[in-house]
Amino acid sequence: MVNNMSKITSEFIAEIPKTDLHVHLDGSLRIPTLIDLAQSAGVALPSYTDEGLRELVFKDKYANLVEYLQGFGLTTSVMTNAEQVERVAYELAEDNFNEGVRYFEVRFAPQLHVTADFNLDQVLLAVNNGLAKATSDFNARNALIPADERGPDGHYGIIVCAMRNAMPVLSPYFQDVFRVHAYSTDRAVGSMTSLEMARAAVDIRDRLGIPITGFDLAGAEAGYPAVEHRDAFDYCHKNFLKKTVHAGEAYGPESIFQAITELHADRLGHGYYLLSPDKIVSRAIADPQDYVRRLSEYIADRRITIEVCLTSNMQTNPSITDLKHHAFGKMLKARLSTTLCTDNRLVSNTTVTREIQLAVDTFGIGPSELKDIIVYGFKRSFYHGSYNEKRQYVRSVIDYYEALERKHGIRHAPNT
């Protein structure tokens, strides 16, 4: 860590341009919207008040990742037609822009929203329509601000998620697959549908021009190794669709190794257990400490960025009794490329601003470190556009950030 030359204030954090590279659409609804959509669609909720849903479903602490994921059964049940999905997408984009997020990547599993009357194309079009309209509205307002004050325009990308496992209860889409492949297991169906999702993502990106910028693998890690989805990620790799993988969230370094070697991961979702040799289970790894050192050095050298979700990890991992014990501190010391994300704005009851504030307050982050983290978010994004366009956009972000540093009197400590 560096010594602060000046204090990073909450006002500064609120104003700086931010990213969210790891945010799930179906985990980020507004509670009033969830209630409204449920009542309109006749979907039963355990409560119809904000307080009741936060007490019963969207809690401050969960027993584990499985319990954390249960709320998605409610949110996906009210996202089964174009009007519903477009509204949720619009509001998520609006919430991001309202707190200074200028670039975000929305990830979701379209197969969880498919019905007999709502196919994959329509799901992705609805999401894009909502995001595009909110982005257009924001940029129109932004254009009215004097050029030397307004900062960069808003942009977004869409990440299609495959699921490590597939259970009939998850969606009608999976029910149909199980019906056709009567002898398949949830693991086999998960593998088959991940390849189908990869093909669909590339096809819709190219055919409809939707900014599908990445492909992800989500769901329970334990018992569902990433390597089972290699065909899907090979397909994305060959078709220049960038990859991010949920890895090291609830399993050890070996899961992260598979993500970067078997699935060609450009970024890592969570990566919490990257620096945990005690989580290694393979007997073939004779020296866990050396394995972790080599793995983390490789990730650092390749600048494979870790999408850090502080609040989410605290909620799903009972072993983290205090945020100061979160692995993010070790990641900073190892000089890994990291970016701070929400994971789920509703399920984790958080914002990007809050995640940054938590990191600054807990880990003693100085101005130089904070600037690196913010800029990594833009640089390591799966930006929809040419490389030169991305460079120009990142340059505009840096220029605006530095102008805000001057405005708030933020000075950097000298290099040591």
Residue 135: partners with Cβ closer than 8 Å, 6 or more residues away: 93, 97, 154, 155, 156
- What DSSP string describes 65-101? HHHHGGGHHHHHHT--SHHHHHHHHHHHHHHHHHTTE
Strands 305-308 and 267-270: parallel
- What DSSP string describes 320-360? --SGGGSTHHHHHHTT--EEE--B-TTTTT--HHHHHHHHH
Q: Nearest-5° angle of CA 113, CA 119, CA 120?
A: 75
Backbone angles phi, psi at 103, to 5 degrees: -145, 130
- Bridge partners of residue 18, in order along the sequence: 101
| Sign of CA pseudo-dihedral 262, 263, 267, 270 | negative
- Asked if 402 is an active-site residue, the reply is no
- State the catalytic residue, choosing from 105, 249, 254, 405: 249
Catalytic (active-site) positions: 249
